[in-house]
Each structure stands twice: as C-alpha cells, then as structure tokens.
Amino acid sequence: MSISVILFFTICILLLWVTFAGKELYPFSYYPMYSAPHDLKSISVFRIALEKKDGSIVWWQSEFYRYPEYSGRKLQQLWQARENNQQKKIFLQLEQQRLLISVLQIMEKENINTGEYNAFHIIERTINADLQPVDKTIEVIPLNRLKR
C-alpha cells in the first residue's frame, strides 16, 4: 500500500473519530461551539467595570476581547460556587482576588494607567422582557486592596 493511501485514510479516520466521538485531538477538533441548547431566561454574564477617580464607571475593554469574557466567566463560576459551598467561601474569595490581580497585570501590560481608577466593579448583566440589558453590581473591590 502506498504512502498516499495510508496518509489519506489515516487522516480521514482521525477526522471521523473526533467528529463522532466528540473528542479534541489537537490540531483535530470536533468544533462543538454554540451547539448546546441555550435559553433566553438563563442568560447572565459577569462583566468587570472600572470606577474612575471622579466616580464614573467604564467597562474594562481589552485589545484582546477574550480576556474580559474569560475573566467574567471565571468570576461567575466562582460566585456560583460560593453560593453553593459556604465552607469554601474564603478559598473562593482568594481565587477571585488572584484572578483580579491577573486582570490588573494584563491592564498594566496593555499600558492602561491603573492609577486612574479606584475600584473594580463586578457587574451581572441579564436581559429584561424587551431584550434590553439589565445591570446589577455584585461587588466593588478597591484596587488598592489588590495592589498591596
């Protein structure tokens, strides 16, 4: 059997396997994104906002938009875990602090002057019946607490 036939069938088998077994075998992928059922009623995201010295609030924006999204999702997971497990509350708070310190470091590496801000606001965003966003501040964390 020639090398071309072996190569052809090996790659085809790998592609079929990741597709039907639903496995990730980098660089082969089964591309599962946006396939799970999703419900309007359960939509909720956590976003990080920054409080300026004058008291106004702006969203944390990064050149790399996954950073705010990933950090928000992590914060949401930590909050859900805190609600479900009071015994591990301190551990989860420390984990949140570690995450926010990483956010601060990313901001500094992106040349954002963190001295212009007073605090992080963790904001939960949901939608109302008119599909408009509804924001609720979950926690305010002074930056000097993280910079210490």
Partner 1 sequence: MILPDLFNTNTPDNNTAMFGRLFCAALAVLVSYNFVQQYRYFLTQPSKLYGKGPKLLGLVGFPGLNRYQFLSCGAGFILCLLFVVLNIYPYAAIAIALICYFLYFSQINSLAYVQRKANLIPIVLFILLFSPSLDKPLHFASPTWELTLIKIVLIQVYFSAGIQKIRSSGLGWLNGKYLQAYLIENSLWTDRNAVIAIASNTIMCAVLSLLVLTFELTFGVVLFLPQLTFIYVGFALLFHLGTLITMRINYLKYIGPVYLVFFTDLAFRLKAIIGI
Binding residues for partner 1, per CB under 8 A? 2-5, 7-8, 11-12, 15, 18-20, 22, 24-40, 42-43, 45, 47, 63-72, 99, 102, 105-106, 109-110, 125, 127, 131-133
Task: Supply the minimum distance, in Å, between the C-beta of residue 68 and partner 1.
Answer: 7
| H-state helical runs in the chain | 3-21, 66-84, 89-109, 143-147
Is the Cα dihedral 112, 114, 115, 116 positive or negative?
Answer: positive
Q: What is the rounded CA–CA span in Å between residue 46 and residue 142?
A: 18
Q: Kindly tell me which of 51 and 124 has the beta carbon lying closer to partner 1.
A: 124
**In the bound complex, what is the minimum distance in angstroms from residue 39's beta carbon to partner 1?**
6
CB of 56 to partner 1, least distance (A): 17
Report the alpha-carbon distance of residue 43 to residue 65 in Å, rounded.
19
